[in-house]
Structure 1
Amino acid sequence: MIVVQRRNKIKERLFQQRSVKVSELVREFNVSEETIRRDLNQLERDGLVQKNYGGAILVEEIDNVAIPPVQQRKLQYFDEKDAIGRKAAELVTDNQIIILDAGSTTWCMARHLKQAKGLTVVTNGINVAEECSHNEEASIFLLGGKLITKSMSLVGPQAEIELQKYNAHYVFLGSSGISMRKGFTSSDIYEAEIKKAMIAAGQKAVILADHSKFLRHALVSFSSFDDVDIVITTDLVDPDILRELEDTGVKVIVCPVKEAGEGSAAELR
């Protein structure tokens, strides 16, 4: 297991248990105490944990039930999502019209759109719209509808009707799961309907997915492989799975994940 995978597993454990012990992590990952302590040191620098005797605890401001789940998802697999978002932003050129789905990975993409000139962004994500607003040259259109607080997304018939008037160069979407049998899936039926409407409003559809989304399916399918042009993911996904995906006709873009440093979770503060 490479460094970034082990640290992502430690983050998952922290979100589940709120604390970790060095001795338990040593046994679980079959590595030395020094290695685990380096991992915890990095997570502390990222602002995610506070070290204590024998382990670490999730920092108080993160360990707070009032924080929306979308905020927590920004921290989970952050380095991986940021790498995907950076690569997705490279597809965008000046003066294009793009549609961005609500979600943590599309939010990461929005962070890398600050230099695009004459960009028009249509989104149903409040957090995505806010991030895109840092590009003062961008025109941002926020869809109306019912707010889903867990994802800070706007859904419903109003948003779907609004999407019918747009013709975007690219549509960038997250996915709760990617299954060879069910295609691309969402955990929310209303968000799935918005994703369908977004795909219909774009010339090319791009799915942004970290390694955890593969070989799983959520509540409802929103697209088959035929309606998606590109999937952007990372080298943490099994190459055999990616080859199978490419066999469906979808272009797969794989980007490497850096271990630490630039783009760390500390930037979210």
Structure 2
Amino acid sequence: MFVKQRRHQIKERLLRERSVKVADLVKQFSVSEETIRRDLHELEREGIARKDYGGAMLARDLETVAVPVPPVHHRAQHFTEEKERIAEAAARLVGPGQIVVMDAGSTTWCLAKHLGGIDGLTVLTNGLNVAEQCSSNENAQVFVIGGKLVRGSMSLVGSQAETELRKYNADIAFLGASGISANRGFGSFDLYEAEMKKAMVAAGRQVVILADHSKFERQALISFAAFQDVDVLITSDLVDSRLLRAVEQAGVRTIVCPLERRLGEEA
């Protein structure tokens, strides 16, 4: 078993059971105690575990995180005007002949709808919803990164998909985020999707996060990028300006989309 696969499984066990013992993991994976301790040290460095005598426990700030996430087709119906404005702004960053990588989020799906008029575009995605939408552009090449299907998000994940993604270099990586926090950066609620997002961050010459206002000050389960890993954040003026200033001070350029009316107000 590869190191990454073993650590994935340890993460899953930590999330499920809240604690693990070195002796149990040694038996489960048939490796040395020293190897497991290195794994736990790395998970502690990632902010997922906190080591204790004989094993590790789930990090304190993850203990109360709610994991369930609505299916992507349900999320696409939330904050639709805001996501459309964010997607329009993101599309303006893309030029003819460029290579872009996109994940399977609801906001990146909105972005895909606005890329139809760009000639010579190449799209790499692990999202079946994004690939289907991009297929309407006859001048675009669409490559689907294969892997295990996550039905709720219609995304393809896993070590096979991550390995395939490493073959490519993209001009821009467009990613959604489940949560944005000052101490953990940009995060996802899904362990495997977080790993895919990390691979996409590595593949993009420029990294752009698309996030509606609900994602701010929200604690996600797994961090996939720190502020220094991201070039641009596109959001709306529904976000508290103090939060945006904090992101900008961390070195991220922000593009703030004005809305014609505030969400939840009468037109």
Under a length normalisation based on structure 2, what TM-score does the superposition of the two structures give?
0.71
Partner in structure 1 of residue 145 of structure 2? 143
Alignment check: 8 A CA contact 1:79 1:259 kept: no
Partner in structure 1 of residue 93 of structure 2? 91
User: Which of 199, 202, 205 is equivalent to 1:200?
Assistant: 202
Q: What is the distance in 1 between the residues matched to 2:110 and 2:89?
A: 10
Aligned amino acid, residue 126 of structure 1:
L
Partner in structure 1 of residue 23 of structure 2? none
For residue 160 of structure 1, give the secondary structure of its aligned residue in structure 2: helix
Q: What is the distance in 1 between the residues matched to 2:247 and 2:182?
A: 8
Stretches (4+) displaced over 6 A:
none
Between the two proteins, the alignment pairs up a number of residues equal to 193
Give the CA deviation at 1:214: 0.3
Alignment check: 8 A CA contact 1:184 1:217 kept: no
User: Does the alignment pair 1:224 with 2:226?
Assistant: yes
Aligned amino acid, residue 88 of structure 1:
A
- Structure 1 portions without partners, runs of 5+: 1-67, 261-269
Give the CA deviation at 1:74: 0.7
Partner in structure 1 of residue 187 of structure 2? 185
Q: What is the distance in 2 between the residues matched to 1:235 and 1:226?
A: 23
Q: What is the distance in 2 between the residues matched to 1:118 and 1:165?
A: 20
For residue 217 of structure 1, give the secondary structure of its aligned residue in structure 2: coil
User: Which of 209, 212, 235 is equivalent to 2:211?
Assistant: 209
Aligned amino acid, residue 211 of structure 2:
A
Q: What is the distance in 2 between the residues matched to 1:188 and 1:210?
A: 18
Partner in structure 2 of residue 29 of structure 1? none
Q: What is the distance in 1 between the residues matched to 2:217 and 2:97?
A: 36
User: Does the alignment pair 1:131 with 2:123?
Assistant: no
Give the CA deviation at 1:258: 3.2
Give the CA deviation at 1:254: 0.3
Q: What is the distance in 2 between the residues matched to 1:81 and 1:168?
A: 23
Aligned amino acid, residue 85 of structure 1:
A
Give the CA deviation at 1:257: 1.9
Give the CA deviation at 1:90: 0.4
Aligned amino acid, residue 150 of structure 2:
I
Aligned amino acid, residue 225 of structure 2:
S
Alignment check: 8 A CA contact 1:70 1:103 kept: yes
**What is the aligned-residue identity percentage?**
60
Alignment check: 8 A CA contact 1:79 1:258 kept: no
The superposition leaves residues 58-102 of structure 1 with CA deviations (integer Å, 9 ceiling, x where unpaired) of xxxxxxxxxx82111111001101110110000000000000011
Using CA pairs under 8 Å that are at least 6 residues apart, name the structure with larger relative contact order, 1 or 2: 1
Under a length normalisation based on structure 1, what TM-score does the superposition of the two structures give?
0.71
